[in-house]
């Protein structure tokens, strides 16, 4: 196992390496050797620990922080995590106690669809949890080699174009050989040396309570105690050398867009053929930029980018087919909200209602340091740091060699959420929930965590079951209300522009059922309503999304819209709309001479400001705002606080005559030692439609001249 390069796995979107935090055995008692190390299932003070832990330090010791060393039914770890904060877990133990199997599961098991590097389907903790394709299997093993003969008869038993795809498919090889025959490798999704898929399968479904005379037992996954939940896999990813063209010689685990698309089609077709595909786990993903050692690398190989037209269409198809897709937020440590599209992470950033984006927490209840996040785009949080799970073992016999590792990533968090959804689809009271209802249920029933309030939509850690009405299996009267559009708390919109507002409001899995949500506008005193009736501005009735449009009026510089109670912030929601065109010094600008960037003085707009000294020759700074409609505009300028700035800095505003259209220029001086950090009125001017020119010069200035931002407000 030590030969497997697990520490290279950070780029598959979800995995980095090392394990978990504290616990005692679950109420549904299991005999798995490493069950004490599964903090994400139950994060509680230890009662016992491996022999190399001082008995006086047991309660203060976390879980294994790296791969455990197993020997003859015992194990030790070289390092341990800090003790976890109690109850910062998914409450698996409580969930197992509340789970009631739905009828019919033995005839039609719930199937988790895993798109990854494959699965080591011979691993002792996984072999009984891996899907067996009923269209291929015969139920016989005539040669007694431990394999169903239908999985090795060289016949495409279910006529789906994949030969002997008993456990899933492999998209890394051609489906058809050069001679036109079916390629047997395409029906074999055995994990490669990356091991990522095997790791995810263990988090979701490792078989629990399976210690025997021949095997020590290992871990238990979220659904590991439920015999009628299985994992099918589609192999799409491997260690690739060309993911980062600007970083030659670096290989990372990744999947090409074509392979992921083929996997999605494979599982979609299985669903259409009657296989009970309950959820798709997409622990991988890709953004256009990657955070590599704190540097924003500006390019990813085109073959690995997932925001393609074909993927958008497939996302819509999976939504129409009502298949939940659980997607990792990524391991870039930044926001994936789409203000900067380069950082958006797909498939997590697709906005379909069946896609659930997941960020990662640690055993303290904080956001894992490597986790990407997003107030508007990451739906829920789940454990992702120091997670113990399965790893491929080569060879896998004798069984005592079966291996386990400790890893980090939003991949692991995604797998926990996938396991919870599989439990919901196998549970009597929740099996018929559609994909969006499941998403609503997870968001409203989780455990609020401070770390998630501004880093996720729900602000919550997912829970399988809980007290006080929380928990996915036990949710009762949990009202969730939060604005989801526009995706900002502050924005610029010109008078006459229409904004579309959406507020999510639901109670557990269902829409809240309130008649409307009132929005108040200050300072005008206007009110208008958002509705969930499927009419006008609302896309679908009774889905828990209340919608409405508002047109920005003329007459005010700034408006404040209150949409009611934000249940995550536990405060009123406020959207501030600046009715103006703002051009910062980092936007549509140009300059001559030296204009140095700085953040030394406070009160500037945006990320910095620029300044020029008073030395000759003249230095000019140019803002180039674009106005779409000819009109009178009031012009404002802004600069930071500074006692040594010029008292006679000169702005030149190039505008037009409203009647003749002739170009004009107005020059005026301002005192930049005063009124720093505020918008200062420079007057009203007529601008024809198009790109304008506003200049700042240091000519004849008696101090440092500062270029920060300008603002134009239509003057009705």
Q: Which band of pLDDT confidence, cut at 50, 70 and 90, is reported for residue 716?
A: low
672: left (phi over 0), alpha (psi -120 to 50) or beta: alpha
* pLDDT higher at 83 or 27: 83
Query: What does the pLDDT look like over 570-617, one tens digit per residue?
Result: 999 999 998 888 999 999 899 999 999 999 999 999 889 999 988 778
Instruction: Report whether pLDDT(238) > 80.
Output: yes
Residue 397: predicted pLDDT: 47
Domain layout of the chain by residue ranges: 95-131+167-476, 482-578, 581-714
Query: End-to-end alpha-carbon separation of the chain, Å?
Result: 72
Sequence-distant (6+) residues with CB within 8 A of 221 are 129, 201, 202, 203, 204, 205, 206, 207, 208, 389, 419
DSSP annotation of 237: E
Residue 494: predicted pLDDT: 80
Instruction: Report whether pLDDT(12) > 50.
Output: no
* pLDDT higher at 81 or 23: 81
Residue whose token pair is 């007057």: 683
| Surface-to-core class of residue 596, CB atoms within 10 Å of its CB (0-12 exposed, 13-18 middle, 19+ buried) | exposed
Strands of 409-497, DSSP E: 447-448, 460-461, 479-485, 490-492
DSSP per-residue letters across 312-364: HHHHHHHHHTT--EEEE--SSSSB-STTSGGG--BTTT---TTEEEEEEE-TT
Question: Whole-prediction pTM value?
Answer: 0.84
Query: What does the pLDDT look like over 249-261, one tens digit per residue?
Result: 888 889 999 999 9
DSSP per-residue letters across 493-526: --TTPEEEEEEEEEETTEE---S-EEEEEETT--
CATH topology identical between 482-578 and 581-714: no
Query: What does the pLDDT look like over 116-168, one tens digit per residue?
Result: 999 999 999 999 999 999 999 999 988 888 888 899 999 999 999 999 999 99
CB 271 within 8 A of CB 265: no
Query: What does the pLDDT look like over 621-660, one tens digit per residue?
Result: 999 999 988 999 999 999 999 899 999 999 999 999 999 9
CB 387 within 8 A of CB 171: no
Tokens (6 digits) for 176: 């058809």
CATH of domain 482-578: 2.60.40.10
Q: Measure the CA dihedral 249/250/254/259, to 10°.
A: -10
Which three-class secondary structure string do you get for 129-182? CECCCCCCCCCCCCCCCCCCHHHCCCCCCCCCCCCCCCCEEECCCCCECCCCCE
Residue 22: predicted pLDDT: 32
Closest CA to 192 of 327, 326, 6: 6
Pairing between strand 277-282 and 110-116?
parallel
Residue whose token pair is 């939504």: 319
Sequence-distant (6+) residues with CB within 8 A of 108 are 276
Fold of domain 581-714: Jelly Rolls (2.60.120)
Closest CA to 357 of 432, 411, 298: 411
Query: What does the pLDDT look like over 266-308, one tens digit per residue?
Result: 999 999 999 999 999 999 899 988 776 666 666 788 999 999 9
Instruction: Report whether pLDDT(54) > 70.
Output: yes
Instruction: Report whether pLDDT(182) > 70.
Output: yes
CATH of domain 95-131+167-476: 3.40.50.200
Closest CA to 200 of 243, 171, 168: 168
d(CA 286, CA 274): 31
DSSP per-residue letters across 7-25: GGGGGGSS-EE--------
Tokens (6 digits) for 334: 């930044």
Instruction: Report whether pLDDT(356) > 90.
Output: yes
* pLDDT higher at 7 or 226: 226
Measured CA distances, 120 to 8, 152, 232 (Å): 19, 17, 12
Residue 399: predicted pLDDT: 52
For residue 234, the Cα-to-chain-centroid distance in whole angstroms is 21
CB 50 within 8 A of CB 40: no
Size of the chain in residues: 716
| Surface-to-core class of residue 560, CB atoms within 10 Å of its CB (0-12 exposed, 13-18 middle, 19+ buried) | middle
d(CA 63, CA 45): 10
Residue 289: predicted pLDDT: 83
* pLDDT higher at 29 or 406: 406
d(CA 501, CA 523): 19
What is the radius of gyration, based on Cα positions, of the chain? 29
CB 352 within 8 A of CB 380: no
Q: What is the mean pLDDT of residues 224-229?
A: 96
Residue 296: predicted pLDDT: 66
Instruction: Report whether pLDDT(483) > 50.
Output: yes
Q: Measure the CA dihedral 403/124/225/459, to 10°.
A: 30
Strands of 152-204, DSSP E: 168-170
Residue 707: predicted pLDDT: 97
Sequence-distant (6+) residues with CB within 8 A of 479 are 444, 505, 506, 507, 512, 567
CA atoms within 13 A on the CB side of 535: 5
Q: What is the mean pLDDT of the chain?
A: 91
Q: What is the mean pLDDT of residues 490-498?
A: 85
Query: What does the pLDDT look like over 22-35, one tens digit per residue?
Result: 333 345 778 999 99
Bond into 546 cis (ω within 30):
no
Query: What does the pLDDT look like over 526-568, one tens digit per residue?
Result: 999 999 999 998 999 999 999 999 999 887 878 999 999 999 9
Closest CA to 342 of 288, 300, 304, 292: 288
CA atoms within 13 A on the CB side of 320: 8
């Amino acid at each position: 196992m030590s030969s497997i390069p697990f520490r290279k796995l950070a780029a598959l979107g979800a995995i980095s390496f090392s394990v978990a935090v504290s616990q005692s055995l679950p109420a549904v008692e299991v005999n798995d050797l490493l069950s004490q190390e599964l903090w994400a299932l139950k994060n509680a003070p230890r009662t016992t620990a491996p022999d190399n832990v001082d008995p006086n330090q047991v309660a203060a010791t976390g879980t294994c922080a790296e791969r455990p060393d197993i020997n003859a039914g015992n194990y030790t770890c070289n390092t341990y995590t800090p003790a976890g904060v109690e109850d910062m877990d998914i409450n698996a133990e409580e969930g197992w106690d509340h789970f009631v199997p739905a009828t019919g599961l033995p005839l039609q098991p719930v199937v988790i669809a895993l798109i990854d590097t494959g699965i080591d389907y011979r691993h002792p903790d996984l072999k009984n949890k891996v899907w067996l394709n009923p269209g291929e299997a015969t139920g016989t093993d005539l040669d007694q080699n431990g394999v169903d003969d239908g999985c090795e008869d060289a016949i495409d038993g279910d006529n789906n174009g994949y030969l002997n795809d008993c456990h899933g498919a492999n998209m890394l090889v051609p489906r058809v050989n050069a001679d036109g025959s079916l390629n047997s490798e395409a029906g074999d999704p055995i994990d490669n040396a990356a091991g990522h898929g095997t790791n995810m399968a263990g988090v979701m479904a490792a078989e629990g309570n399976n210690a025997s005379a021949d095997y020590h037992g290992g871990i238990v996954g979220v659904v590991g105690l439920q015999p009628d939940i299985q994992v099918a896999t589609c192999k799409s990813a491997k260690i690739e050398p060309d993911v980062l063209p600007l970083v030659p010689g670096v290989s990372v685990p990744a999947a090409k867009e074509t392979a992921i698309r083929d996997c999605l089609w494979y599982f979609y077709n299985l669903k259409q053929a009657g296989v009970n595909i309950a959820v798709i786990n997409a622990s991988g993903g890709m953004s256009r930029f990657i955070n590599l050692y704190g540097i924003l690398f500006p390019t990813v190989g085109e073959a690995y980018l997932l925001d393609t037209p074909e993927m958008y269409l497939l996302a819509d198809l999976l939504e129409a087919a009502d298949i939940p897709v659980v997607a990792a937020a990524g391991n870039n440590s930044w926001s994936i909200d789409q203000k900067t599209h380069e950082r958006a992470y797909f498939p997590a950033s697709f906005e379909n209602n069946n896609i659930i984006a997941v960020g990662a927490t640690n055993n303290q209840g904080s956001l894992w340091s490597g986790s990407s996040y997003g107030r508007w785009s990451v739906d829920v949080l789940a454990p992702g740091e120091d997670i113990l799970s399965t790893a491929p073992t080569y060879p896998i016999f004798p069984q005592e060699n079966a291996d386990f590792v400790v890893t980090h990533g939003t991949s692991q968090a995604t797998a926990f959420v996938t396991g919870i959804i599989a439990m919901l689809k196998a549970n009597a009271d929740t099996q018929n929930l559609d994909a969006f209802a499941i998403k609503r249920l997870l968001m409203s029933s989780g455990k609020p965590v401070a770390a998630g309030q501004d880093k996720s939509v729900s602000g919550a850690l997912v829970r399988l079951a809980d007290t006080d009405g929380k928990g996915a299996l036990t949710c009762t009267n949990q009202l969730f209300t939060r604005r989801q559009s526009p995706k900002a708390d502050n924005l610029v919109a010109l008078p006459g522009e229409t904004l579309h507002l959406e507020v999510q409001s639901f109670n557990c899995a269902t829409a809240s059922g309130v008649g409307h949500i009132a929005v108040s506008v200050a300072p005008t005193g206007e009110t208008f309503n958002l509705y969930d009736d499927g009419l006008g501005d609302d896309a679908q009735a009774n889905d828990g999304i209340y919608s409405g449009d508002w047109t920005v009026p003329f007459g005010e510089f700034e408006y404040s819209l209150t949409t009611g109670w934000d249940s995550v912030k536990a405060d009123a929601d406020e959207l501030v709309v600046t009715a103006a065109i703002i051009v910062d010094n980092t936007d549509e600008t140009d300059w001559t001479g030296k204009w140095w960037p700085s953040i030394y003085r406070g009160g500037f707009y945006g990320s910095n400001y620029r300044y020029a000294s008073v030395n000759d020759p003249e230095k000019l700074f140019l803002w180039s705002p674009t106005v779409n409609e000819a009109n009178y505009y009031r012009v404002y300028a802004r600069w930071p606080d500074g006692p040594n700035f010029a008292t006679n800095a000169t702005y030149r505003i190039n505008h037009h005559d409203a009647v003749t259209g002739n170009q004009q220029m107005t020059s005026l001086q301002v005192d930049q030692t005063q009124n720093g950090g505020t918008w200062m009125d420079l007057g009203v001017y007529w601008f024809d439609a198009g790109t304008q020119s506003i200049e700042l010069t240091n000519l004849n200035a008696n101090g440092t001249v500062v270029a920060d931002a300008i603002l134009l407000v239509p003057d009705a």
